[in-house]
Amino acid sequence: ETGVTQSPTHLIKTRGQQVTLRCSSQSGHNTVSWYQQALGQGPQFIFQYYREEENGRGNFPPRFSGLQFPNYSSELNVNALELDDSALYLCASSLIGHLNTEAFFGQGTRLTVV
Amino acid sequence: KQEVTQIPAALSVPEGENLVLNCSFTDSAIYNLQWFRQDPGKGLTSLLLIQSSQREQTSGRLNASLDKSSGRSTLYIAASQPGDSATYLCAVTDQGGSEKLVFGKGTKLTVNP
In chain B, the percentage of residues whose pLDDT exceeds 70 is 97
pLDDT digits (tens, 9 = 90+) for A65-87: 999 998 889 999 999 999 999 99
Rounding to the nearest 10 degrees, give the CA dihedral for residues B14, B20, B25, B28: 160
Are B99 and B92 a contacting pair, CB within 8 Å?
no
Query: Per residue in B41-65, pLDDT tens?
Result: 889 999 999 998 999 999 999 999 9
pLDDT tens digits, residue range B87-99?
Answer: 999 999 877 656 7
**DSSP secondary structure letter of residue B83:** G
B44 interfacial to chain A (CB closer than 8 Å): yes
Strands A74-78, A19-24: pairing kind:
antiparallel
- Mean pLDDT for chain B overall: 94
Give B-chain residues touching A100 at CB under 8 angstroms.
Answer: 49, 51
- CB–CB of A108 and B99 under 8 A? no
Q: What is the pLDDT of residues A29-63, one digit of tens each?
A: 888 999 999 999 999 999 999 888 998 899 999 99
Query: Which sign, positive or negative, has the C-alpha torsion B7, B72, B100, A96?
Result: positive
CB < 8 Å from B in window 12-71 of A? 31, 33, 35, 40-45, 48, 55-58
| CA–CA dist A6, A96 (Å, integer) | 21
Nearest-CA distance from A16 to chain B in Å?
25
Q: How confident is the model at residue A21, as a pLDDT?
A: 98
